[in-house]
């Protein structure tokens, strides 16, 4: 079997939750627990958890991350739309029935992980919070609300210091956009040392950012193009396989698209620095699930590339891949299904005088650290 066929086979397993044969009625997250491993996460003294949007790509990744990190819970409720209600999801060797989301879904729930789109979050997030649930929301619905913390645990954990399970009140915490998380994981340690004045970001964003259906369409289009057929274009209005194009988010009056402005606005909020200058160009590329970003930085204080590399090597959640001799640097494929964000191509910006500018290249799994892992890390801080 050639490498393209192996790649498509792997991604189909992820999309459909099974290996070979007909599609199963039981949805299984990509990383399933060994039957011989003793699970310590099910605990009657732990919080009750709900996952909203469980049948989507990020919803399934929530379950994988909860397992991987032995997140403690006394009960688990899986919620989705009416269309998905009744499906069976296997989690930690138990079968759970997906329930239809409604206003009673959050009775007795301590933490709810949301990834079902902005409209669902706007409707049900406040309902859950009023019932005493702490919502960790992966949509853009509340990110720029001044009363809602926007959190990357390695970057600004202090933003959510007043929210804890058992404190007697609910609330909402927003997960930043995936491209913002991946960018700021790498840039913040350098910002703390030398203070970023201006940041120019170019993103190369994977299909996963548009959901499981976009991932499946990329697989389908790849097969069709290789077979000489017209590609099926349901999710995007143009060919995606063997192509790239400006991010499909709506264009704003200033000429930027929504994805680009998220990076601008969210960076300022997370850093509590409305004066930092940020500009971005976001591109959709035919990669399955990990984003790449080229980042140019201008600092207030000098920061040479060797010092920057050492800072990054000691930063939590970062792995440095910067081997000039072998021309080996981060790639989306190598960070797929990984927790760490990879950084490389660390070099002085020759267009700036002295050591006041750097260029770096960053890759991170959009579904993992760009969404599900970050949300579960936030949930861990609530305990």
Q: Catalytic amino acids? A: 178, 291
Q: How far apart are CA 98 and CA 91, in angstroms?
A: 12
Q: What angle do the packed helices 305-313 and 178-194 form, to 10 degrees?
A: 120
Please provide residue 185's backbone torsions phi and psi, each rounded to the nearest 5 degrees: -60, -40
Which of 11, 51, 22, 90 is closest to 286 using CA atoms?
Answer: 11
Q: Which residues contact 70 (CB under 8 A, 6 or more apart)?
A: 39, 40, 41
What is the CA angle 195-368-128, rounded to 5? 95
Q: Which residues contact 115 (CB under 8 A, 6 or more apart)?
A: 52, 53, 56, 58, 59, 62, 138, 139, 371, 372, 375
How crowded is residue 141: how many other Cβ atoms within 10 Å of its Cβ?
Answer: 21
User: What is the DSSP secondary structure assignment for residue 370, as one 8-state letter?
Assistant: I
How crowded is residue 273: how many other Cβ atoms within 10 Å of its Cβ?
Answer: 13
Q: How far apart are CA 221 and CA 228, in angstroms?
A: 10
Please provide residue 39's backbone torsions phi and psi, each rounded to the nearest 5 degrees: -85, 130
- For residue 53, give both structure tokens: 């949007």
Q: How far apart are CA 125 and CA 5, in angstroms?
A: 41
Q: Which residues is 83 bridged to in the sheet?
A: none
């Amino acid at each position: 079997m050639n490498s393209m066929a192996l790649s498509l086979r792997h991604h189909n397993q992820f999309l459909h939750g099974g290996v070979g044969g007909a599609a199963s009625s039981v949805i299984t997250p990509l990383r399933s627990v060994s039957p011989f491993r003793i699970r310590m996460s099910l605990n009657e003294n732990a919080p009750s958890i709900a996952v909203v949007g469980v049948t989507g790509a990020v919803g399934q990744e929530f379950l994988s991350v909860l397992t991987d990190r032995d997140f403690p819970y006394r009960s688990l409720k899986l919620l989705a739309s009416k269309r998905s209600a009744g499906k069976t999801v296997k989690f930690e060797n138990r079968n759970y029935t997906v329930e239809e989301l409604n206003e009673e879904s959050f009775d007795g729930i301590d933490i709810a992980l949301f990834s079902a789109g902005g409209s669902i979050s706007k409707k049900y997030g406040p309902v859950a919070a009023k019932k005493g649930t702490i919502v960790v929301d992966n949509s853009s619905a509340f990110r720029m609300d001044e009363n809602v913390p926007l959190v990357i645990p390695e970057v600004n954990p202090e933003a959510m210091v007043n929210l804890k399970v058992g404190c007697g009140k609910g609330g909402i915490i927003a997960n930043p956009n995936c491209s913002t998380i991946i960018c700021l994981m790498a840039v913040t340690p350098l910002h703390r040392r030398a203070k970023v004045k201006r940041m120019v970001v170019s993103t190369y964003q994977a299909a996963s950012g548009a959901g499981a259906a976009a991932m499946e369409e990329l697989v389908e289009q790849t097969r069709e193009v290789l077979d000489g057929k017209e590609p099926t274009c349901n999710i995007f209005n143009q060919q995606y396989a063997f192509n790239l194009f400006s991010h499909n988010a709506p264009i704003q009056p200033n000429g930027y698209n929504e994805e680009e402005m998220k990076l601008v606005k969210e960076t300022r909020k997370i850093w509590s620095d409305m004066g930092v200058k940020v500009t971005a160009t976001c591109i959709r590329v035919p990669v399955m699930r990990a984003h790449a970003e080229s980042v140019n930085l201008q600092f207030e204080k000098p920061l040479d590339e060797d010092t920057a590399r050492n800072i990054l090597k000691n930063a939590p959640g970062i792995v440095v891949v910067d081997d000039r001799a072998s021309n080996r640097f981060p790639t989306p494929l190598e960070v797929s299904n990984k927790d760490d964000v990879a950084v490389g191509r660390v070099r002085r910006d020759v267009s700036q005088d002295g050591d006041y500018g750097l260029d770096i290249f960053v890759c991170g799994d959009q579904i993992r650290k760009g969404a599900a892992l970050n949300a579960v890390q936030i949930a861990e801080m609530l305990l």
